[in-house]
């Protein structure tokens, strides 16, 4: 079919989307309706699950029994394969309903951006939105119209490999990032975004992926829900249910959670899709007898699309005939799916996302690579620096480690075919004109024969050693939980040997989660957390090392001091017996053998300047609903180099109907300060910022005293306090 030629599902002039949906729905057979609820993979299907049924995908498309497809191809053949399948659906099925084509475009399509945990550290919503928009545009011209992102889970456990895909541990910042990503993908990129994983997936016990989850009603609303609420408010069109149980019932079949909270409380009226084969997993969880039972329970929870399982399609008619499900339930789901398709524009023009002629000028362009480089530089976090950084160009370097010249800089979830072109750290330093030798020294997980000896010799011959260590692409992401979140032993041995040379040593990290870095904090002269930085990673890191970019990233997830502390996060609840440093009272909430505090707290990160934050000044003592108070600090760069700082506002509700966190981030402001320069930074505080899900089960603020803390990280902010009183609470 020719592009832009009206197809059979196109609206007539003046026809509204609801009218078009109802007209189409009335023409559909039951099989066609159930087909819309099935998302297949782009190959002849072997049903995932207990029954292995081979089903020819093209025949099903002709029969109008597939509504959307995933895993259709690689970037290089995606457009061709999507066109092929769309042609069949549009031209050869009875009603010609176009398909949705889905992909996990998590942090880039061909141009790869830093992983989400990294980009969350830049504290710049605009840059994050741009990355999402660019990724969506690259994928969209190849035919992708439905992206399984953003992941908005709130993690507290760095053993869980999927922390790499999150925006870190803070619900407020996570909500800002959620909205930025949804807008970037939908408003700028034109595709349908998908908030995932609803709900509580990151709370997997023991940090083991897919494991059981327990959370209270307060944690549900105050911790896990806000980023979903923000994404829904930003207009997200789809939500994916999580694999885990919540209150004993897997999310995909959890009616109170999906129909009650998501659709009811949040007012989400878009498409709910299951996670991969999650409907089948209802049997593994022990809450469904068989496939039909699983389909019935998922539909009861208002699931619309089954990802890769086809139980609605295969058992729907029988379930309808026996009265176990109703046509109203099916119609409601199909109505939502068709509405999303109309809103995306594919019903009027099934090929609007297939713009093969634009691929070359849209995908992996110099502009996109430049965006990726900037974001990677802004996402890196300087964890330590005794002054060795930035590196002077006249110093001879020894670049040592498995990530010295490695292209393993993409991190998890990467569909890009351009890995061979990635800018390694060696490339970046070479382009800057540094004089250096490269020694791998060790593999990522295995030693290299003679590696350490050669690395030590190189370090001895140099002025400064740059150690490039960390985790490779396979060590974080889905199903990549680790018990020991350390730098692997063989790399540790390499680092120890290099440290013994006494040469100033800079550690540059590539990894997808917070790591245990105590030894490095003690023995390295500088530590630059580069994360998995993407296509331009090596260049971005070299920009920072050379001082052509000034580090400004701040951690969005605490780096534990010991795995025994996990979960350790900044916005914990107070205990009845808080630990007070320096006292010898025994009955306090503490460890006998180590500190409570993480090594590097939330919000922490250095810059090349050295900023000092002055005392908090409040514009008044009382805050009434409808009014605003201002909290102001003066930030001064007392260093000899420029500073990129993120000033952070934290609040604490001192006494409420529920125990409230010791600190909650409520504002960030970024400043650039030349040496000796200072700036006044102010935050407006109003009543809506103080609302939470209370003991009465409503969103409200409660009158009383609040602490205001401002600083350059969560820990230092605790020491810089003022306060005010909210004169009256307000209920939503
Ligand atoms: C993951 C989802 C992803 C889906 C489709 C699942 O295993 O949990 O995040 O979107 O696969 O690839």
Give the per-residue SS3 of 332-382: HHHHHHHHHHHHHCCCCCCCCCECHHHHHHHCCCHHHHHHHHHHHHHHCEE
Residue 584 pLDDT: 87
Query: What backbone phi and psi angles, to 5 degrees, belong to 128?
Result: -70, -40
Q: Residue with the nearest Cα to atom 7 of ligand 1?
A: 276
Ligand 1, atom 4: closest residue by C-alpha: 276
Q: Looking at ligand 1, which atom is closest to the CA of residue 243?
A: 8
Residue 10 DSSP one-character state: P
Distance 39 CA to ligand 1 centre (A): 13
> Hunting for tokens 């420029």 — which residue is that?
642
Helix residue ranges, H only, 363-487: 366-379, 425-431, 451-460
* Element holding 686 (H helix, E strand): strand 678-686
Q: Atom 8 (ligand 1): residue with closest C-alpha?
A: 275
What does R_g of the chain's alpha carbons equal in angstroms? 27
Residues near 669 by beta carbon (within 8 Å), at least 6 away in sequence? 646, 647, 649, 681, 683
| Nearest-angstrom CA–CA distance, 339 and 332 | 11
Residue 427, Cβ neighbours under 10 Å: how many?
A: 17
| Most informative mutation of 144, 275, 481 for ligand 1 (most atoms within 8 A of CB) | 275
Residue with tokens 């001091």: 561
Residue 203 has what pLDDT?
A: 97
CA of 20 to the centre of ligand 1 (A): 32
Under 8 Å between Cβ of 99 and 66 = yes
Residues 6+ apart with CB under 8 A from 599: 516, 517, 518, 521, 559, 560, 561
3-state SS assignment for residue 726: strand
Supply 10's token pair.
């196109």
Residue 334, pLDDT score: 98
CB atoms within 10 A of CB 700: 18
To the nearest whole number, what is the mean pLDDT of the chain?
Answer: 96
Mutate to test the pocket of ligand 1, among 48, 202, 478 (most ligand atoms within 8 A of CB): 478
Distance (angstroms) between ligand 1 centre and the Cα of 275 equals 6
Which protein residue has the closest C-alpha to ligand 1 atom 2? 275
Ligand 1 closest atom vs CA 165: 9
* Cis, bond preceding 191 (omega within 30 deg of 0): no
CA of 306 to the centre of ligand 1 (A): 12
Place of tokens 């506002």: 649
User: From CA 161, how far away is CA 283, in angstroms rounded?
Assistant: 25
Output DSSP code: residue 223.
Answer: I
Q: Is the pLDDT of residue 45 over 80?
A: no
For the record, the structure tokens of 611 come out as 């900023």
Look at ligand 1, atom 12, and give the residue with the nearest C-alpha.
104
Q: How many CB atoms lie within 10 A of CB 658?
A: 15
Question: Could you read off the pLDDT of 60-112 as tens digits, one per residue?
Answer: 999 999 999 999 999 889 999 999 999 999 999 999 999 999 999 999 999 99
Q: Give the contacts of 5 (CB within 8 A, at least 6 positions apart).
A: none
Q: Which of 717-723's residues contact partners 24+ apart within 8 Å by CB, and which partners?
A: 717/603, 717/648, 717/650, 717/663, 718/650, 718/662, 718/663, 720/613, 720/615, 720/616, 720/633, 721/616, 722/615, 722/616, 722/617, 722/618, 722/631, 723/618, 723/621, 723/654
Q: Is the pLDDT of residue 54 over 80?
A: no
Torsion, Cα of 196, 202, 208, 212 (10° steps) = -90
Confidence band, pLDDT 50/70/90 cuts, at residue 9: very high
Model confidence band, residue 43 (pLDDT cutoffs 50, 70, 90)? confident
∠ at Cα 645 (644, 651), nearest 5°? Answer: 165
**What is the largest distance, in Å, between two alpha-carbon atoms of the chain?**
81
540 CA → ligand 1 middle, Å: 29
Ligand 1 centroid to 276 CA: how many Å? 6
Distance 715 CA to ligand 1 centre (A): 35
Q: Which long-range contacts (CB under 8 A, 24 or more apart) does 26-30 make?
A: 27/95, 28/95, 28/334, 30/316, 30/317, 30/320, 30/327, 30/330
Q: How far apart are CA 363 and CA 634, in angstroms?
A: 44
Mean pLDDT of all residues in 460-482: 97
Pick the closest to residue 162 from 201, 123, 122 (CA basis): 201
Determine the Cα–Cα distance for residues 593 and 547; give it in Å rounded to an integer: 40
Q: Which of 104, 124, 275, 304 is catalytic?
A: 275
CA of 615 from ligand 1 middle (Å) equals: 46
639 contacts 561 by C-beta, under 8 angstroms = no
Q: Name the one residue in this structure whose structure tokens are 């409570």.
A: 596
Q: Burial of 704 by CB count in 10 Å (0-12 exposed, 13-18 middle, 19+ buried)?
A: middle
Which residue from 147, 192, 276, 477 has its CB within 8 A of the most atoms of ligand 1, so it is best to mutate? 276
Tokens of 7: 């197809």
CB 277 within 8 A of CB 244: no
* pLDDT (0 to 100) of residue 1: 46
**Contact present, 634 and 641 (Cβ < 8 Å):** no
CA of 153 to the centre of ligand 1 (A): 13
pLDDT of residue 176: 98
Q: What is the pLDDT of residue 5?
A: 56
pLDDT band at 581; cut points 50, 70, 90: confident
Task: Name all domains of the chain by residue range, CATH numbers in brackets.
Answer: 18-359 (3.20.20.300), 369-563 (3.40.50.1700), 607-726 (2.60.40.10)
* Best of 70, 104, 202 for a ligand 1 pocket test (most atoms within 8 Å of beta carbon): 104
The model's confidence at residue 210, banded by pLDDT at 50, 70 and 90, is very high
Give the rounded percent of residues in the chain with a pLDDT score beyond 70.
Answer: 98
Average pLDDT over residues 534-551: 98
Measured by CA distance, the residue closest to atom 5 of ligand 1 is 276
pLDDT at 297: 98
Q: Are strands 628-637 and 678-686 parallel, antiparallel or unpaired?
A: antiparallel
CA of 149, closest atom in ligand 1:
10
Of the pLDDT bands very low, low, confident and very high (cuts 50, 70, 90), residue 525 is very high
* Tokens 């176009």 found at: 98
Ligand 1 atom index nearest CA of 196: 9
472 has catalytic annotation: no
Q: Hey, what are 667's tokens?
A: 């504002």
- Using the atom order of ligand 1, give the atom closest to the CA of residue 151: 9
Alpha-carbon gap, residue 472 to 480, rounded angstroms: 11
Buried-state track 41-65, b at ≥16 Cβ within 10 A, e below 16: bbeebebbbeeeeebebeebbbbbb
Statement: residue 48 has pLDDT above 80: no
704 Cα to the center of ligand 1, angstroms: 44
Region 429-444 average pLDDT: 98
**Minimum CA distance residue for ligand 1 atom 10:** 148
Cis bond upstream, residue 197 (ω within 30)? yes
d(CA 717, CA 266): 33
Quickly state the pLDDT bin for 504 (edges 50, 70, 90).
very high
Confidence of residue 219 (pLDDT cuts 50, 70, 90): very high
Tell me: pLDDT of 686 over 50: yes
Q: How many percent of the chain have pLDDT more than 90?
A: 95
The atom number, within ligand 1, closest to the CA of 240 reads 10
Closest atom of ligand 1 to 194 CA is: 10
The pLDDT, as a whole number, for residue 53 is: 65
- Taking the complete model, does pTM exceed 0.85, yes or no? yes
Ligand 1 is surrounded, with C-beta below 6 A, by 104, 148, 196, 275-276, 478
Output the CA 120–ligand 1 centroid distance in Å.
Answer: 21
How many residues make up the chain in this entry?
732
Give the residue, by CA position, lying nearest to ligand 1 atom 6: 276
What is the predicted pLDDT for the residue at 44? Answer: 80
Cα(151) to ligand 1 centroid in Å equals 10
Instruction: Please write the tens of the pLDDT for every residue from 160-208.
Output: 999 999 999 999 999 999 999 999 999 999 999 999 999 999 999 999 9
Q: How many whole angstroms from 416 Cα to the centroid of ligand 1?
A: 17
pLDDT of residue 670: 98
């Amino acid at each position: 079919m020719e592009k832009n030629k009206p197809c059979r599902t196109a609206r007539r002039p003046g026809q509204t989307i609801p009218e078009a949906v109802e007209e189409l729905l009335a023409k559909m057979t039951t099989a066609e309706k159930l087909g819309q609820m099935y998302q297949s993979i782009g190959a002849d299907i072997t049903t995932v699950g207990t029954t292995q049924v081979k089903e020819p995908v093209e025949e099903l498309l002709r029969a109008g029994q597939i509504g959307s497809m995933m895993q259709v191809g690689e970037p290089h053949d995606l457009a061709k394969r999507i066109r092929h399948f769309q042609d069949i659906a549009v031209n050869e099925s009875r009603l010609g309903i176009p398909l949705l084509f889905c992909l996990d475009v998590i942090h880039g399509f061909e141009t790869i951006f830093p992983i989400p945990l990294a980009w969350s550290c830049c504290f710049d919503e605009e840059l994050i939105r741009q990355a999402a928009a660019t990724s969506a545009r690259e994928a969209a011209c190849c035919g992708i119209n439905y992206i399984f992102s953003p992941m908005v889970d709130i993690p507290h456990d760095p053993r869980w490999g999927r922390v790499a895909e999150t925006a870190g541990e803070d619900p407020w910042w996570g909500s800002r990032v959620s909205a930025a990503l949804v807008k970037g993908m939908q408003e700028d990129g034109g595709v349908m975004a998908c908030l995932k994983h609803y709900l509580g997936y990151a709370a997997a016990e023991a940090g083991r992926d897919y494991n059981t989850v327990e959370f209270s009603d307060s944690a549900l609303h105050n911790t896990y829900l806000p980023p979903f609420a923000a994404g829904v408010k930003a207009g997200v069109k789809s939500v994916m249910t999580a694999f885990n149980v919540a209150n004993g019932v897997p999310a995909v079949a959890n009616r109170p959670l999906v129909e009650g909270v998501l659709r009811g409380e949040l007012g989400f009226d878009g498409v709910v899709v299951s996670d991969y084969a999650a409907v089948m997993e209802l049997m593994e969880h022990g809450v469904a007898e068989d496939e039909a039972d699983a389909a019935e329970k998922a539909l009861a929870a208002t699931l619309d699309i089954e990802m890769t399982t086809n139980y609605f399609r295969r058992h729907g008619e029988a379930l309808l005939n026996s009265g176990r499900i109703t046509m109203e339930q099916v119609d409601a789901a199909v109505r939502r799916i068709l509405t999303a398709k109309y809103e995306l524009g594919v019903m009027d023009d099934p090929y609007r996302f297939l713009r093969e002629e634009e691929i070359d000028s849209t995908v992996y362009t110099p502009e996109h690579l430049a965006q990726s480089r900037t974001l990677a530089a802004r996402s890196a976090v300087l964890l330590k620096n005794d002054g060795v950084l930035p590196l002077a160009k006249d110093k001879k370097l020894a670049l040592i480690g498995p990530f010295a010249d490695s292209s393993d800089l993409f991190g998890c979830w990467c569909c890009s075919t351009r890995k061979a072109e990635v800018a390694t750290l060696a490339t970046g330093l070479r382009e800057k004109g540094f004089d250096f030798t490269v020694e791998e020294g060790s593999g990522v997980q295995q030693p290299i024969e003679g590696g350490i000896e050669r690395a030590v010799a190189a370090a001895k011959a140099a002025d400064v050693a740059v150690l490039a260590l960390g985790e490779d692409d396979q060590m974080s992401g889905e199903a990549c939980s680790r018990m020991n979140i350390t730098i692997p032993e063989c790399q540790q041995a390499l680092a120890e040997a290099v440290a013994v040379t006494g040469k100033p040593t800079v550690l540059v990290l590539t990894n997808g989660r917070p790591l245990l870095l105590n030894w490095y904090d003690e023995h390295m002269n500088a530590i630059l957390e580069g994360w998995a930085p993407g296509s331009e990673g090596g260049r971005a890191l070299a920009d920072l090392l050379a001082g052509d970019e000034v580090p400004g990233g701040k951690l969005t997830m605490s780096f534990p001091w010991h795995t025994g502390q996990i979960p350790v996060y900044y916005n914990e609840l107070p205990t009845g017996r808080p630990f007070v440093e320096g006292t010898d009272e025994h009955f306090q909430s503490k460890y006998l053998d180590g500190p409570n505090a993480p090594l590097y707290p939330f919000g922490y990160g250095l810059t090349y300047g050295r900023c000092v934050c002055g005392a908090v000044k409040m514009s008044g003592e009382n805050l009434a609903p409808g009014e605003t108070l201002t909290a102001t600090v003066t930030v001064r760069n007392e260093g000899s180099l420029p500073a990129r700082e993120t000033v952070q506002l934290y609040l604490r509700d001192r006494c409420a109907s529920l125990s409230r966190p010791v600190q909650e981030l409520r504002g960030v402001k970024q400043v650039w300060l030349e040496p000796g320069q200072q700036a006044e930074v102010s935050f407006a505080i109003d009543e809506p910022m103080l609302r939470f899900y209370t003991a009465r089960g409503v969103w409200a603020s409660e009158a009383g005293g609040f602490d205001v803390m401002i600083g350059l990280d969560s820990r230092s902010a605790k020491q810089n306090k003022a306060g005010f009183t909210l004169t009256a609470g307000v209920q939503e």
